[in-house]
Structure 1
Amino acid sequence: MRLSPTLSIYIARQLIMWLAIMGLGLSTLVFILSFVEQLRRAGGEAGLAMELAIFQLPFLVQKTLPFVILFGSMMAFWRLSRTNELVVARAAGVSAWQFLLPAVFIGAVIGGIQTTVFNPLASAMLARYEKVDAEYLRQTTSRLSVSPTGVWLRQGSEGGQIVINAQRITLDGAELLTVIFFVFENPDRFIRRIDADSAVLRDGYWQIQDANLATVDNPRQHVEEYRIDTDLTPDKIANSFASPETLSFWALPGFLENLEAAGFSGHRHRLYWHSLLSMPLLLGAMVLFSAVFTLKIGTRTSASRTIGAGVICSFLLYFLSDVIHAMGLSGGLPAILAAWSPAALATMLAMAMVLHLEDG
C-alpha cells in the first residue's frame, strides 16, 4: 500500500510539534546551566554573564541538536503508538518504512538547515562570545590571523607593538618565510619596518638574517643579523588560530585554503567541515533510532524500559562519536573518515534494527 499524503502530513506535523517542544525545553535548560556557569566565572556580574550565555547559546543548541531530534522523535512516535494510530496504519498495510520516510526526511532537512543556515549564526555568535570572554575574563586577545596575503601575527613590545606578516610558516611554528615586521611605538606611530627572507623563533627572540630595515628617516639599511624580543612560542602561535567552531560552514573552505597555503595543517578545520556536511545523515539516523525504541511500546515491553534503552543507546553513540572524533583530531584517522563514520555507522545500525523490527 502506498502511504497517503494525508497520513504523511499528519506524521510530519506530530513530529515537528514534538521536536519544537523538545528543542525549546532543552534550549531553556542549556541556557540556564550556561548562565549559572558564566555567572560563576564572571564573579557574580549578572550583566556580563547574561551576555556571554546569550552569545554561547546557539553553539550549545547546535551541539544538542542530535538529542533534540532523538528525544523529540521518541515522544512523537510514543504518542502515536499509545493512541494506536500506528497500529491502525500498519493493519491497513502501511509498512514501518513508509510511515518513517516523512520523519526521516524532516530529520535530514533539519540537518541541512542547521548546516547551511543556523551554523553561520551560531559561529558568528560564538566568535563574539570568545572575544568578550577573552577581553573581560581571560584578559587576552587573539594574536594570529590567516588571509590571502599570508599569516599575520601581533606581539607586544616595549612601549608599543609589532605586527608580523609572513607568506608561509613552518608546521612547527618556529620559522617564518618571506617575512615583514612592522614596529609601532603606539597603535598609530610607525617606527620601522624589517624585511627578510626568513625569521627563526628562538627562546625569547626572533632571529632575522640578512634583514633590510626601513625607518622614516632612513628608507633602507641592510644588516646581517637582527633580533627582536618576543614572548611568543610555537605552542602559542599554534593555539592562536580561530577555532573551527567560530567559522561558518560557508567560510571554512576559504579559511582552510589560506591556512594550508600559509604552511599550517588544516586537519582540524577539515574534520569539522565534514562533520557539518554529515549532519543531515546523522539526524536522519536519530529519527530511525527513535522509531526502534518506541514502536514496540504497548506490545511486549514497558515504556520506561524501552525509552531507557533508547537513552542509553544514544549516549553510547555520542561516546563512540567522541572517540572517533578524537582519533581524527590526533591524525589516527583521515578527516573524512572520522567525520562521516559516526553518521554512517548510526544509519546502518538504525536501518538494521528497523528491518529486524519490521520482520518481527
Structure 2
Amino acid sequence: MRTVRSLLYRDILGSVLFVVLAFLSLFYFIDFVDELDRLGRRGIGAGQAAWLSLLEQPGHFYELFPIAVLIGSIYSLARMAQSSEFTILRTGGLGPGRALSLLTTLALGFAALTFVVGDYVAPQFERQAEQQRARLTGGVARSGNSAWLKDKQQIDGVERSYSVNVQRAKAPGELDKVRIFEFDAQGSLMSRTEAASAKVEPNGVWRLSDVLQTRWQVSANSTPQVSELKLPTLDWPSGLTINVISAALLPAKTMSTAELYRYTQHLSAQEQSAQQHDIQFWRKAFYPFACLVMVALALPFAYLHGRAGGISLKVFGGIMLGISFVLLNNLAGHLGLLKGWTPWAVAATPSLIYLGISLAAFGWLVRYR
C-alpha cells in the first residue's frame, strides 16, 4: 500500500503544483498590468509595480489553491483512468474505501497548507502591499472612504461614548485627519476633537497633533456655550488598538482568522453590526476544508470509463465545478448578509452541498459502473 500511496500522491501533487503555477503566473501578469497603470499615473516605475504584484501572490494562492486541487486531482485521476493505471490498482486491491481514505489524508495536508498560507503568510504579505501602496500613493483609505469606529469609556464613574472618524492610515499606528465626537450617557454631543494626524501608542493612547477641540456646555438657563481650544498635541486614552483600526481601514483579506474573531467581538461589544465580519470569519475558518470537498469531487472521475470523454473534457468539467463552487460561496455570503442568516451556516452550506454531490456521485459510480 505504501507503493500505491506514493504513486497517487506523487502524481496528484505534480498536477496540482503545475495548475497552481499556471494560475499564479496568469494572476501575476494581470496584477502587474493593473499596478503599472495605477502607479504609472503618479510617475512610479515598473519595479515597484512588479514588487507590489509579487506581494499579492500569497493571497491569490490562498484563494485559488482549492480550485487548483480540484483541477489537478481531476487531471491526474482521469489520466490514470484513461491509461488503465487506476483499473490495475483496483484489481490489485485498492477498494473504494481505501481510495477515499488515501485521498482524504492527502486532502487534509492540502487543507493544512491552505490554513497556514491564509492565516500567517497571505495577511503579512497583504499588509506589506497595503503599506507600500500607502507610502507610494499617500495613504490607505477603506474603499476610498474614511472609517468610523466606536469606543466607550468610564470617566469619573460616568460612561462616555465616542464616535471616531479616521480618514486614512499612512503606516501602522499613524493616522491622518482624525475626528473624535464625545457623547454623554443620554447621547448628547459634548465635544468634537479634530486632529491633523495621530499616532497610536502600544498602550492604547492616541497622541493627537495639531488639535482643534470644540466643547458644548449647557448652562443653567439651557443656553449652550461653545468654546474652542487649539493645542499642538493632545493625548487621548482609548480602547481602540492598532489591530482594530487596521481592521476597519484595511480589507478583511489582510486579517487572520483570530484577528477577524477579535474584531467581530469588538463590534458586538460596541453594539455595531458584526454580521459581515462574522460571515467573513466563518468563511475563513471553513475555507481550508474546501480542499477536502475538491478532492472528493475529483475522485469520481477515476471511476469513469476511459472512453467516457477525453481528459480535456474532464478537466473542463472540473474548471466549471470549481467556478460554480466559488460563485455559490460568494452568493451565499451576500444572501446571508442581506437576509441575516446564521453566519456559520452561510459559510458551511456551499461546502456541504458539494461534498454531498461528490459522495453521491462516487457511491453511484462504484455501485453501478
Per the normalisation by structure 1, the TM-score is 0.74
How many angstroms apart in 1 are the aligned matches of 2:183 and 2:61? 37
Which segment drifts farther, 308-317 or 65-74?
Answer: 308-317
Deviates more, 1:178-187 or 1:53-62: 178-187
- Secondary structure of the residue aligned to 2:40 is coil
- Alignment-derived partner of residue 296 in structure 1: 304
- Unpaired runs of 5+ in structure 2? 153-161, 169-175, 199-207, 218-223, 235-244
Cα distance change on mapping 1:358 and 1:106 into 2, 3 Å = same
Q: Which residue number corresponds to residue 65 of structure 1?
A: 65
Aligned pairs for 1:332-347 within 5 A: 332-347=340-355
Question: 1:41, 1:137 within 8 Å by CA — same for their partners in 2?
Answer: no
Give the Cα–Cα distance (whole angstroms) in 2 for the partners of residues 177 and 129 of structure 1: 41
**How many correspondences in the alignment?**
319
SS across alignment from 2:257: coil
Partner of 2:124: 124
Pair 1:278 & 2:297 matched: no
**Which range is displaced more, 247-256 or 324-333?**
324-333
Letter in 1 for 2:109: V
Is the partner of 2:15 in helix, strand or coil?
Answer: helix
Once the two structures are overlaid, the 10-residue window that deviates more, 139-148 or 297-306, is 139-148
Contact between 1:120 and 1:249, CA under 8 Å: does it hold in 2?
Answer: no
User: Counterpart in 1 of 2:15?
Assistant: 18
Of 138, 153, 164, the residue aligned with 2:165 is 153
SS of the residue aligned with 2:258? coil
Equivalent residues in 2 for 1:195-234, closer than 5 Å: none
CA drift at 1:303: 2.8
* Structure 1 residue 284 displacement after superposition: 0.8
Task: Tell me, in whole angstroms, the C-alpha distance in 2 between the residues paired with 1:280 and 1:139.
Answer: 32
The correspondence for 2:39, drawn from 27, 37, 42, is 42
Q: Aligned-residue CA RMSD in angstroms? A: 3.8
Q: Please name the residue that 1:96 is paired with.
A: 96
Alpha-carbon offset, residue 189 of structure 1: 4.8
Match of 1:226 in 2: none
The change in CA–CA distance for 1:155 and 1:90 in structure 2 (over 3 A counts) is closer
The offset of 1:257, in angstroms, is 1.1
Partners of 1:189 and 1:166 in 2: CA distance: 16
Q: 5+ unaligned residues in a row in structure 1: which ranges? A: 170-174, 198-208, 220-236
Q: SS in structure 2 opposite 1:154?
A: strand
Relative to structure 1, the CA distance from residue 245 to residue 300 in structure 2 (aligned partners, 3 Å threshold; closer, same or farther) is closer
Pair 1:85 & 2:93 matched: no
Change (3 A) 1:193 1:21: same
Q: Deviations over 1:186-239 (max 9, x none)?
A: 777554545789xxxxxxxxxxx888876669x9xxxxxxxxxxxxxxxxx9x9
Could you tell me which amino acid in structure 1 is paired with residue 290 of structure 2? L
